[in-house]
Amino acid sequence: MKTDFSKFEAFLESTCTRLLEGVPQNLRESIRYSLLAPGKRVRPRLAVAASDLLGLKSQIGFTIGAAIEMIHCYTLIHDDLPCMDNDDFRRGKPTNHKVYGEAVALLAGDSLMPMAWELLDSLFDQADTHQVRRALARFSWAVGPRGVVAGQAQEFILDSKSSKTEVEAMHGLKTGALFDASILMPLDVSGLEGPKADALLAFSKSFGLAFQAADDLEDLKQDTALNQSLEAKSSERKFVNIGDFAPAEAIARERKAELFGTCDRLESLFGNTTELRHLSEQVFGRLGL
């Protein structure tokens, strides 16, 4: 049965209210400010679409999706801090630390991690214990120092001499780990094995790579536009060689073909995969590829 994703925001809001009962006002407001801000909700959409494909209850997809959105949100709050990327805007609003101060923003990120765990604990009431444990093990790996945090740390030690493989591995953790968890935790909970499970694993790997290739191409387009406008002002500063475009576009096209190949495979095994295909299209939509 297809879950009505429009109900996800209400689920996230009510979960947030429940988990923040009795929490000091400044911390509570800071957490709500970022978690309930208008993100694209790509990870919850993936979790819900994968859960639907596997025939799981809507509540399971929402629970996994909301937990991963909490982790995603903590990484954004921390990544925006002055000691990391020092960003002023996120999701069209001033960053958390700009509104609540660095100390409270740090605590908001810290709080979102155990909140996600507390929420996931409810999966034990909804599915087989052994299968839920597998999902939680995957979650721990993805959000911890071997997953998304490893990706962030690796980025600090990479430089212009780093190989393409090293850079891809870093992105695979920094960006790919949470996509993987979104798609594969429902698989763990379902207990499914065999060709259908393999096809979902292949889709998951391909989705992360495609997202990264699209993101790289978009960055390059933005840098090129900036470069051209600076050139127009006779500036000395140059960011990218416009010639770099061709390989990045070729890689993105290749990744797109791979991703849609994995969608076809899923469709041949599961039947309807409209939502996963739609999410795949959105990865490239903004690039007009």
Q: Which spans of this chain sit near ligand GRG (rule: CB under 6 A)? A: 39-40, 42, 72, 75-76, 78-79, 91, 148-149, 151-152, 174-175, 215
Residue 83 or 232: the one with the smaller Cβ distance to ligand GRG is 83
Nearest-angstrom CA–CA distance, 84 and 79: 5
Instruction: Give 144 or 191: the residue with its C-beta nearer to ligand GRG.
Output: 144
Coil/strand/helix, residue 225: helix
Q: With DSSP H G I counted as helix, E B as strand and the rest as coil, what are the percentages for the chain, rounded to 5?
A: 75, 0, 20
Q: What Rg do the C-alpha atoms of the chain give, in angstroms?
A: 20
Token pair 């900036």 in the structure block, residue: 226
User: C-beta of 150: minimal distance to ligand GRG in Å?
Assistant: 9
In the complex, what is the shortest distance from the CB of residue 176 to ligand GRG, in angstroms, rounded to a whole number? Answer: 9
Terminal C-alpha separation, the chain: 31
In the bound state with ligand GRG, the residue whose beta carbon lies nearer, of 215 and 267, is 215
Q: Which residue is nearest to ligand GRG (CB)?
A: 39
Task: Single out the residue of 94, 115, 95 nearest to residue 12, CA to CA.
Answer: 115
19 Cβ neighbours under 8 A, 6+ residues apart: 115, 118, 119
Q: How far is the CB of 209 from ligand GRG (least distance, A)?
A: 13
Of residues 35 and 199, the one with the C-beta less far from ligand GRG: 35
In whole angstroms, how close is the CB of 281 to ligand GRG at the nearest point? Answer: 15
- Nearer to ligand GRG among residue 153 and residue 242 (C-beta): 153
Contact partners, residue 208, CB within 8 Å, separation at least 6: 171, 172, 175, 176, 179, 180
Cβ 231 to ligand GRG, closest distance in Å?
27
